[in-house]
Structure 1
Amino acid sequence: MMRPVSSSRSSTSPPGAMTRADTQRPAVDDRWVGHCGSPISASAGSPLHSARPRARRRPVARLAARGMYLPGWALSGILLTGSAHAGAPSGGIQLPKDVRVPAHVSVAIYLPAQTRRWHGHGTFESGRTLEDTVLSAGQIYFSESRMAEPGADAAFGLLLALHPDIKTESGHLVYSLNYAVFAADDQPLLTGTQSVAVEGIDFDRATLRATQQVMSAVIAGMRPDDSKFPPVLNLKARSLGFAANKDKPWANGTGFYFNSSGQVLTAAHVIQDCVRIDVKREDHVQPGKVLARSNVVDVAVVDTGTTSPAFLPFRQGFSFELGEPVTNVGYPLQTILAATPNLTRGNVSARGGLTGSVGQFQFSAPIQPGSSGGPVVSDGGEVLGIAVGTLNALSLAKQGVIPQNVNFALEARYAAKFLEKNNLAFTTAEPNAHGDAHSANQAALAAVVNVQCYE
């Protein structure tokens, strides 16, 4: 039987039937256990320990020929716009009479990884993803277009960053598409928002109409062509951080300093698909760079480039006792709670995690979405583990089972092996038999940070 999961990495999700497919990890069933790294509105269905599936990409022309991309209601408007006729209406934007489409320019299109795999919900082609729909429009409006992939060396002249903002009002889907256009510089050449409203929850139609309007606005506002923007740019050595939505993080999680070099240990799923990472402590924000990660044990290291006077050691020998009291500190539910660390107390409740899992133990200190990556600390102030997940209470309640504080942490010994493999320094400390809740709390609070993921 597959097992249910609730994510404690909080993230933003669209309304209706659109779910965050990026949190689904097939290695563990998505009904029982969930990450505690918080995607900003808690996603109740993100499984533990596996890579997120990506939508399979196929040539737009071939898919269109097979009837898989453009619904009939869209074809007439797109073909009119895509003809050589100047001034043809395009998605609500009237192009100047001397402007023709497609514009002869190579465009890379950036969409947040989480939204690329959103599936349409409506009466037309509901199996398509947002990526599919955007690419189908891009092939009409630009002579060459493709998705912007991190590290890709494919040449382009412009990069178009798209960030959907979706809500429902009075039975209508209100779909706003924020956009920014970039060339060689990280400052945008053009920014704006195009909005559409459609009846019901017709995600496909709203996506296509909004994308048409954005691309028409770009062509009308910039008159792009290969002479102005030759295809000489690539992402081989350029981070996509400039294309991220910097107004708010897509997801929040927790981490902690484990050495004096400003390096932060967190859960790998907290930073998955991030193009920009900020490490925040109180009012101080430092940009983070991923030094190492492992999706197998769900752990990662982020470098802040600064020193860290307070950090947590691992317990020497990596042993712990059943019933041993522990402290957990994290930054849960950051869209609801104040941006201050949340401290909970509990005990080590079992030496094993889920059936089939490796290197996990159970603890009872309550955690919420956003707690992923937080330290599980002994009364002596030594790290015993890293919070990675919790049971999905909502899914289990439907089966008549109400779990109480069944949470999971990666054992410190596995984190230490990961650090050794990647030549990252850490310290150990002998168990402090004279420690208490106060010393544990102070040690954890001094070293914990909020890890913010931007897309």
Structure 2
Amino acid sequence: MRKAILIGLTCVVSMMLVGCNSTTRIQENTVTNKEHKLAPGITLPLQQKVAVYMPSSFLATEFVLSGNIQKPGRAVTEATESLFNNYYSSFSWFEPGKQEQASLVFKVHPKWEVDGNKIVSEMAFTVFDRDGNALYSDVMTGKSTFNRDQLDAGFYNASYNSMLGMLVNFTNKHSVEIQQLRSGDISRFDLEKLIDDKPKSTGTGFFVNKEGDIVTAAHVINQCLLAKVKVDDNEFIVSPNAKSDLLDLAVISSNTPRQYYLNQTSAESLPLGSKITLVSYPLNGLLETSPNITFGNITSVKGLAGSKGIFQFSAPIQPGSSGGALVSEQGEVMGVTTSTLNIASLVKRGVIPQNVNFATSPQILKKFLKKNNIPFSTRKNSTLSPTELALKSSAPIACYQ
């Protein structure tokens, strides 16, 4: 009797923390449930080709729950593939610019939260035809219990339930219309219809020629479905011309001729201790969208562990400074801002570093530009002061998903 009571108490405590009942994945061939049923006469799969867009940042999301690293993106990916393959004859993930046939494009923006012993999935859906006309929009919530050993099943089931509700409602309302749709090329689908209103992240770039090419750090645009740059109160959609994740460099084109741009240094080495100016657009959304100027010096001609092609500088930076140009007293580009030392990890060791920041060297930048046939100049092209020229040549970059 005492043993039974102890087991019962253990179960109650477990439920308060992470759930007690066993959680297993919903069967892959499940196309309806008690809450959501298809109308009579609808036969699955529907003979249509569909593409689904979901922000890449969500699919890569990780967080700690119950002492373990959770990856809900994997669960929602597998739930999406299972459900859409049940409902449609052809399913694929939307890839911008890829030549692909589809009659419907689904925009899915998910959110997660843990409510007691349940995982709650809230998903905002919009369904477009191949031409970008919105046919259906809704927000659906799915829930699932979970326990310590089967969190993956909890994430899977919560996302499955929310998407199942959407597919049932959309199919019941538009079944006749769906059957009449024709597939077409979606490589030129309007990406602005798929992105959120607010940018996922921001960074900085700078013009390097009169043609309007902009240099930035590659990680600034890596997960963008769409990138925009703002110049003189005008916002432009920009497309990547060249990118290297290894060097953390990218060139994007504004297709807008420029009067002001930064020239590259002709020096073959970095003078230690040289003064530099950084113009960037940090903490977008917290600070005004206006340029921020900081000053410092080149403090080391090598990066972490003596790595080459990267150097250290002392001008303060913040999130959003990445991609900004470090400009010399002569108005030349001395480097591209890429990263800062991870202060949080060092504080745990009792070390509090200050202004240990890193940039890609000008020599690496010039080689990158030459390799990708991006024109640049090493001659002075303006009578403006170095700071004024840097201000007029820099621009904020917004990354949308």
Q: If the TM-score is normalised by the length of the shorter chain, which range does it land in?
A: 0.7 to 0.9
Q: CA deviation at 1:371?
A: 0.9
* Of 220, 223, 242, the match for 2:172: 220
State the partner residue of 1:194: 140
State the partner residue of 1:85: none
State the partner residue of 2:50: 107
| 1:116 maps onto 2:59 in alignment | yes
Q: CA separation of 1:126/1:390 partners in 2, compared to 1, >3 Å: closer, same or farther? A: closer
SS of 2:305's partner is coil
> Which structure has more RCO (C-alpha within 8 Å, separation ≥ 6)?
1
Instruction: Return the alpha-carbon distance in structure 1 between the equivalents of residues 315 and 33 of structure 2.
Output: 59
Residues 265, 378 of structure 2: 8 Å contact kept: yes
Q: CA separation of 1:101/1:242 partners in 2, compared to 1, >3 Å: closer, same or farther? A: farther
What are the residue-to-residue correspondences of 1:47-126 with 2, within 5 Å? Answer: 72=24, 74-75=26-27, 82=31, 88-89=32-33, 92-118=35-61
Superposed CA deviations along residues 60-119 of structure 1, whole A, max 9, x for unmatched, are xxxxxxxxxxx63633xx75x53xxxxx546x4454334344333222211122222336
Amino acid at match of 2:40: K
State the partner residue of 2:84: 138
Q: CA separation of 1:173/1:346 partners in 2, compared to 1, >3 Å: closer, same or farther? A: farther
Superposed CA deviations along residues 202-243 of structure 1, whole A, max 9, x for unmatched, are 54333222222222232123216874234x4345x4367245
| 1:444 maps onto 2:385 in alignment | no
| 1:158 maps onto 2:104 in alignment | yes
Residues 118, 130 of structure 1: 8 Å contact kept: no
SS of 1:130's partner is helix
Instruction: Return the alpha-carbon distance in structure 2 between the equivalents of residues 228 and 192 of structure 1.
Output: 22
Amino acid at match of 1:439: S
What are the residue-to-residue correspondences of 1:3-42 with 2, within 5 Å? Answer: none
Residues 278, 315 of structure 2: 8 Å contact kept: yes
Q: CA separation of 1:205/1:274 partners in 2, compared to 1, >3 Å: closer, same or farther? A: same
State the partner residue of 2:239: 289
State the partner residue of 1:6: none
Amino acid at match of 2:342: N
What are the residue-to-residue correspondences of 1:282-431 with 2, within 5 Å? Answer: 283-355=233-305, 357-429=307-379
Structure that is richer in helix per residue: 2
SS of 1:72's partner is coil
Instruction: Return the alpha-carbon distance in structure 2 between the equivalents of residues 333 and 182 of structure 1.
Output: 34
Instruction: Return the alpha-carbon distance in structure 1 between the equivalents of residues 70 and 89 of structure 2.
Output: 27
Q: CA separation of 1:257/1:195 partners in 2, compared to 1, >3 Å: closer, same or farther? A: same
Residues 119, 130 of structure 1: 8 Å contact kept: no
Amino acid at match of 1:212: L
Instruction: Return the alpha-carbon distance in structure 2 between the equivalents of residues 251 and 264 of structure 1.
Output: 18
Instruction: Return the alpha-carbon distance in structure 2 between the equivalents of residues 295 and 126 of structure 1.
Output: 26
Residues 120, 204 of structure 1: 8 Å contact kept: no
SS of 2:246's partner is coil
What are the residue-to-residue correspondences of 1:159-308 with 2, within 5 Å? Answer: 159-167=105-113, 174-196=120-142, 203-223=155-175, 227-230=179-182, 232-235=183-186, 237-238=187-188, 241-242=191-192, 244-281=194-231, 283-308=233-258
Superposed CA deviations along residues 163-206 of structure 1, whole A, max 9, x for unmatched, are 11345678875532122222321333322322345678954333
Residues 105, 224 of structure 1: 8 Å contact kept: no
Q: CA deviation at 1:252?
A: 0.9
Instruction: Return the alpha-carbon distance in structure 2 between the equivalents of residues 386 and 255 of structure 1.
Output: 9
Q: CA deviation at 1:403?
A: 1.7
May I ask how many residue pairs the two structures share in their alignment? 369
Q: Which runs of 5+ in 2 are unaligned?
A: 1-22
SS of 1:355's partner is helix
Amino acid at match of 2:170: V
Amino acid at match of 1:221: K
Residues 115, 130 of structure 1: 8 Å contact kept: no
Superposed CA deviations along residues 381-438 of structure 1, whole A, max 9, x for unmatched, are 2110000111110112122222211100111121111111222211113699xx9xx9
TM-score by length of 1: 0.72
Amino acid at match of 1:348: I
SS of 1:379's partner is coil
Instruction: Return the alpha-carbon distance in structure 2 between the equivalents of residues 336 and 260 of structure 1.
Output: 32
Identity of aligned residues (%): 32
SS of 2:290's partner is coil
- Give the stretch that moved more between structures: 274-283 or 403-412: 274-283
SS of 1:424's partner is coil
Q: CA separation of 1:403/1:221 partners in 2, compared to 1, >3 Å: closer, same or farther? A: farther
Amino acid at match of 1:188: A
Instruction: Return the alpha-carbon distance in structure 2 between the equivalents of residues 244 and 312 of structure 1.
Output: 34
Residues 130, 189 of structure 2: 8 Å contact kept: no
Instruction: Return the alpha-carbon distance in structure 2 between the equivalents of residues 340 and 175 of structure 1.
Output: 37
Residues 143, 157 of structure 2: 8 Å contact kept: no
State the partner residue of 2:8: none
Residues 349, 362 of structure 1: 8 Å contact kept: yes
SS of 1:264's partner is strand
RMSD: 3.1
Residues 158, 183 of structure 1: 8 Å contact kept: yes
Residues 279, 288 of structure 1: 8 Å contact kept: yes
Instruction: Return the alpha-carbon distance in structure 2 between the equivalents of residues 370 and 296 of structure 1.
Output: 20
Q: CA separation of 1:431/1:443 partners in 2, compared to 1, >3 Å: closer, same or farther? A: closer
SS of 2:180's partner is coil
Larger Rg: 2
- Give the stretch that moved more between structures: 277-286 or 170-179: 170-179
